[in-house]
């Protein structure tokens, strides 16, 4: 098929490249000439494992190209993906201005070029329920019918760091439209992914739009729940690693997203939970569970500071911290809503010095003017003459650190705050560290819980 993808952000570029990998002819559209210049060198503007190699392969094969103009190849193209950003506004509402700008340009171009052939306009961006109906209304206002352009919703379920694998091995593909012809075309487009039964769910636009928010809100709920259990474990002497294992062995619960940490971040969970709460309020309904998930997540990001301050008797001015991991999760350079940003900000406001290392994040604009903040070349440089290590992101490179080497270069006493449960408290203590491991804090005898009655 001949396909156009508008927007070369995370979703658009991965989708376009992988569709080209299936043998389709794909044109990716972006209005940013600097980004296009990078893409034309077969380099991704963001880090995603394996993406650069696939970009080069498909560009070299002539299946993938880039353009600034929607008019390029418009007439010959039958399937269009709208994959521009929907950033959150202050209220939590999704900013749909970029989505509607593409929609209006699409219909204007369709009319200007005198097109009569059938085309499918697919919303790939995460949008609130009702957006598809509004796009249909815009189409109708241009005097274009569903027999000419069908509107379809196809939300993405890609995880940063494993997006290419997720594209080729999806749990499900959701497509929503009132046009059976459009549904057939998009189902055929994804058909090569499967040898046997295709896990495609055909539904209404409204259901398709809501399914992305519902899925992300539920996963965010699991994260906030296990973080609350981790906090409770610290107060009772229980071990959250065992709690997670026990819960995950229950088939009704599942083992995924039960790993405690300093709160979720990234481009999806924070934005989508806020947008879902906002949407419900506009409809006169309070999503109390999802609102509580947001509250827990924000407090979790800040909670680590209470432990840091406890260890230093509420005075960390002039103390040096080695912060390991800046991105919101491993295998990405995305720092949107990352817990590290909150932790760095709180440390600097208390007068601390922060030396950070991340395998992919090389700069942070919001802190570049602060002389107490620097990004260094590796974990050992970060630890040198530091008073404490804070492990924030569980990159694989942090799982087999030479703990004795780290400690030997640090000030004494040497502290290790493990916010991802990467190391056992025993292993850290054996290396000579004073430790805090999330959800596994050991209690003194005076703190132990006794049974009432």
Whether 339 and 263 have beta carbons less than 8 Å apart is answered as yes
Q: Which of 18, 28, 233, 268 is catalytic?
A: 268
Q: How far apart are CA 293 and CA 151, in angstroms?
A: 33
Q: Is 18 a catalytic residue?
A: no
Q: Which residues does residue 29 pair with via DSSP β-bridges, in sequence order?
A: 6, 67
- Length of the chain equals 453
Q: How far apart are CA 191 and CA 185, in angstroms?
A: 10
Whether 237 and 443 have beta carbons less than 8 Å apart is answered as yes
Q: Which residues does residue 239 pair with via DSSP β-bridges, in sequence order?
A: none
Tell me the three-class secondary structure of the chain, residue by residue: CEEEEECCCHHHHHHHHHHHHCCCEEEEECCCHHHHHHHCCCCCCCCCCCHHHHHHHHHHCCCEEEECCCCCCCCCCCEEEECCCCCECCCCCECCHHHHHHHHHHHHHHHHCCCCCCEEEEECCCCCCCHHHHHHHHHHHCCCCCCCEEEEECCCCCCCCCHHHHHHCCCCEEEECCCHHHHHHHHHHHHHHCCCCCCEEEECHHHHHHHHHHHHHHHHHHHHHHHHHHHHHHHHCCCHHHHHHHHHCCCCCCCCCCCCCCCCCCCCHHHHHHHHHHHHHHCCCCCHHHHHHHHHHHHHHHHHHHHHHHHCCCCCCCCEEEEECCCCCCCCCCCCCCHHHHHHHHHHHCCCEEEEECCCCCCCHHHCCCCCEEECCCHHHHHCCCCEEEECCCCHHHCCCCHHHHHHCCCCCCEEEECCCCCCHHHHHHCCCEEEECCCCCCCHHHCCCCCC
Q: Which residues are tagged catalytic?
A: 268
């Amino acid at each position: 098929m001949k396909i156009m993808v508008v927007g070369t952000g995370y979703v658009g570029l991965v989708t376009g490249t992988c569709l080209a990998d299936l043998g389709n002819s794909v044109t990716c559209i972006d209005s940013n000439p600097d980004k296009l210049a990078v893409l034309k060198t077969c380099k991704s503007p963001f880090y995603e494992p394996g993406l650069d190699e696939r970009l080069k392969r498909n560009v070299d094969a002539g299946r993938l190209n880039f353009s600034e103009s929607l008019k390029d190849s418009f007439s010959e193209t039958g399937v269009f993906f709208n994959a521009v950003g929907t950033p959150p506004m202050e209220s939590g509402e999704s900013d749909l201005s970029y989505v509607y700008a593409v929609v209006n340009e699409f219909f204007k171009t369709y009319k200007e070029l005198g097109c009569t052939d059938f085309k499918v306009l697919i919303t790939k961006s995460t949008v609130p329920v009702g957006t598809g109906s509004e796009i249909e209304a815009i189409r109708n206002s241009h005097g274009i019918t569903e027999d000419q352009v069908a509107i379809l919703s196809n939300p993405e379920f890609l995880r940063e760091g494993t997006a290419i694998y997720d594209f080729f091995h999806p749990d499900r593909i959701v497509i929503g439209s009132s046009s059976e012809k459009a549904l057939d075309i998009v189902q055929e487009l994804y058909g090569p992914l499967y040898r046997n039964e295709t896990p495609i769910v055909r539904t209404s636009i409204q259901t398709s739009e809501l399914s992305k928010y519902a899925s992300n809100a539920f996963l965010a709920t699991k994260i906030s729940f296990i973080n609350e259990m981790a906090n409770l474990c610290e107060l009772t002497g229980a071990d959250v690693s065992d709690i997670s294992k026990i819960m995950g062995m229950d088939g009704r619960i599942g083992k995924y997203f039960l790993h405690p940490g300093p709160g979720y971040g990234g481009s999806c969970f924070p934005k989508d939970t806020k947008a879902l709460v906002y949407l419900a309020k506009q409809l006169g309904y309070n999503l109390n569970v999802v609102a509580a998930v947001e509250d827990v997540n924000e407090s979790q990001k800040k909670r680590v500071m209470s432990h840091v301050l406890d260890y230093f008797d509420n005075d960390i001015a002039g103390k040096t911290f080695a912060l390991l991991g800046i991105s919101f999760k491993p295998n990405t350079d995305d720092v949107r809503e990352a817990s590290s940003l909150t932790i760095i900000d709180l440390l600097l406001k208390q007068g601390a010095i922060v030396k950070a290392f991340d395998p992919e994040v090389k700069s942070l604009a919001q802190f570049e003017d602060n002389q107490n903040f620097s990004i260094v070349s590796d974990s050992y440089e970060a630890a040198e003459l530091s008073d404490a290590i804070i492990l924030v992101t569980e990159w694989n490179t942090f799982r087999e650190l030479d703990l004795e080497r780290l400690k030997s270069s640090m000030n004494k006493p040497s502290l290790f705050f493990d916010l991802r449960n990467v190391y056992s408290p025993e292993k850290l203590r054996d290396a000579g560290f004073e430790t805090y491991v999330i959800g596994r804090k050991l209690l003194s005898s005076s703190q132990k819980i006794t049974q009432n009655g």
